[in-house]
């Protein structure tokens, strides 16, 4: 991946990460953003291969995301789910009619032997997305959680049990054997790489699976380009989802500094919200304080610009 002014690599989970990825894609020259997505949330459901974070990024970058849920497609219809329910099928994981097409086509092409990367690349071209979008690996990695209710697969914990169980341990099954996506690895060593952005995603279940892949943490440490992270914690709370609850259950202080310490060995620059200024003393990384809540497109673009400036200043 080349461009006159180099390119930016973003590591992302789903909903929070996709907000900043969209901002970056809108302020960078076309074709100069590469987004690497967590696939630890992927699972097989109703015989279909579901990749929630990749799809959230595809729909968000493609401008067809659902602004109410953050996942799934805009203007969705639910005929399939209704018909499935009438037949007594499983309905705890909601698949809209348009979204269903993504899973059916992905599953067909995976069974025909295509890699997840190749399918994702084709999908993003068809959605006219100029940024590259890669799964962190083409090999299966499955996030599982040890909770007070025993071991749970990720979507059983997240969607079926609505993150209610208390988390004791998180594992990424397969991460030790999974090969990081080759273009991702090459990007980390590319002289044209301007910076790595860790999006404001859940560090424990969205970013850690990417960092758990063989060689990724070392490559980030060795990488000449600066690593800039944005805090997913604002005013000591998560904007959405279980990040704060999980941090507390795993014994981490629930504040923005705690996330920076989690990335301590790879982080050059940390971006925190104005509301968290008091809680981030003593960090090794340079710090920028700004508004980090992304409520609209202008917020996403403004934060993206701050991130890019921070990366230049390291």
Q: Residue 58 and residue 35: Cα distance in Å, rounded?
A: 10
Of 23 and 72, CB closest to ligand FO1? 72
State both tokens at 267.
Answer: 């982080």
| Residue 281 CB, nearest approach to ligand GDP (Å) | 20
From residue 222 to residue 261, the character string flagging contacts with ligand GDP as x (rule: CB under 6 A) and all else as - is --------xxx-x---xxxx-x------------------
Q: Of the candidates 177, 249, 185, which has an alpha carbon nearest to the alpha carbon of residue 212?
A: 177
| Residue 289 CB, nearest approach to ligand FO1 (Å) | 28
State both tokens at 137.
Answer: 């690996």
Q: Answer yes or no: are the C-beta atoms of 11 and 196 closer than 8 Å.
A: yes
Q: For Cα atoms 62, 67, 73, give the angle at the middle one, nearest 5 degrees.
A: 50
State both tokens at 5.
Answer: 């002014």
Of ligand GDP, ligand FO1, none, which one sits near residue 78, judging by CB under 5 to 8 A according to partner kind?
none
Q: Residue 222 and residue 9: Cα distance in Å, rounded?
A: 15
Please choose, out of 12-20, 107-115, 226-234, 255-263, the segment that lies near ligand FO1 by the rule CB under 6 A: 12-20
Q: Among all chains, which residue has been given the structure tokens 């993206």?
A: 304
Q: Among all chains, which residue has been given the structure tokens 């969607």?
A: 159
| Residue 13 CB, nearest approach to ligand FO1 (Å) | 6
User: Does position 14 bind ligand GDP by CB under 6 A?
Assistant: yes
Number of residues that bind ligand GDP (CB under 6 A): 24
Of 54 and 227, CB closest to ligand FO1? 54
Q: Residue 169 and residue 230: Cα distance in Å, rounded?
A: 24
Of ligand GDP, ligand FO1, none, which one sits near residue 126, judging by CB under 5 to 8 A according to partner kind?
none
In the region spanning residues 133 to 162, those forming contacts with ligand FO1, defined by CB under 6 A, are 155, 158-159
Please choose, out of 59-67, 133-141, 276-284, 291-299, the segment that lies near ligand GDP by the rule CB under 6 A: 291-299
- Burial of residue 63 (number of CB atoms within 10 Å: 0-12, 13-18, 19+): exposed
User: Which stretch of DSSP H or E encloses residue 93?
Assistant: none
What's the number of CA atoms in the CB half-sphere (13 Å) around residue 111? 10
In the region spanning residues 33 to 62, those forming contacts with ligand GDP, defined by CB under 6 A, are 53
User: Does position 72 bind ligand FO1 by CB under 6 A?
Assistant: yes
Evaluated on CA atoms 216, 222, 226, 232, the torsion sign reads positive
User: In the set 9, 11, 14, 187, which binds ligand FO1 (CB under 6 A)?
Assistant: 14
User: In the set 13, 23, 174, 257, which binds ligand GDP (CB under 6 A)?
Assistant: 13
| Residue 137 CB, nearest approach to ligand GDP (Å) | 16
Residues near ligand GDP (CB under 6 A) are 12-17, 19, 53, 200-202, 206, 230-232, 234, 238-241, 243, 292-294
């Amino acid at each position: 991946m080349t461009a006159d002014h180099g390119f930016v690599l973003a590591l992302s989970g789903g909903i929070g990460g996709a907000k900043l990825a969209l901002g970056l894609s809108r302020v960078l020259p076309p074709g100069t953003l590469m987004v690497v997505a967590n696939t630890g949330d992927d699972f097989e459901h109703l015989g279909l291969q579901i990749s929630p974070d990749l799809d959230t990024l595809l729909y968000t970058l493609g401008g067809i995301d659902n602004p109410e849920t953050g996942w799934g497609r805009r203007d969705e219809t639910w005929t399939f789910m209704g018909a499935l329910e009438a037949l007594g099928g499983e309905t705890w994981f909601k698949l809209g009619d348009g979204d269903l097409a993504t899973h059916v086509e992905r599953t067909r092409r995976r069974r025909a032997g295509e890699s997840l990367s190749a399918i994702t690349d084709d999908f993003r071209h068809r959605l006219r997305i100029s940024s590259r979008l890669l799964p962190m690996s083409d090999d299966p990695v499955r996030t599982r959680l040890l909770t007070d209710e025993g071991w749970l697969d990720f979507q059983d914990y997240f969607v079926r049990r609505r993150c209610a169980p208390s988390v004791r341990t998180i594992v990424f099954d397969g991460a030790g054997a999974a090969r990081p996506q080759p273009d991702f690895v090459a990007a980390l060593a590319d002289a044209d790489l301007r910076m790595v952005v860790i999006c404001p995603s859940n560090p424990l279940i969205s970013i850690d699976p990417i960092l758990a892949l063989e060689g990724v943490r070392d490559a980030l440490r060795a990488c000449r380009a600066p690593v800039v992270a944005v805090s997913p914690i604002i005013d000591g709370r998560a904007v959405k989802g279980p990040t704060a609850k999980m941090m507390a259950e795993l014994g981490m202080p629930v504040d923005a500094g705690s996330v920076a310490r989690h990335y301590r060995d790879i982080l050059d620059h940390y971006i925190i919200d104005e509301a968290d200024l008091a809680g981030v003393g003593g960090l090794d990384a340079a710090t920028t304080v700004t508004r980090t809540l992304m409520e609209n497109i202008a917020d996403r673009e403004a934060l993206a610009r701050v991130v890019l400036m921070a990366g230049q200043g390291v």
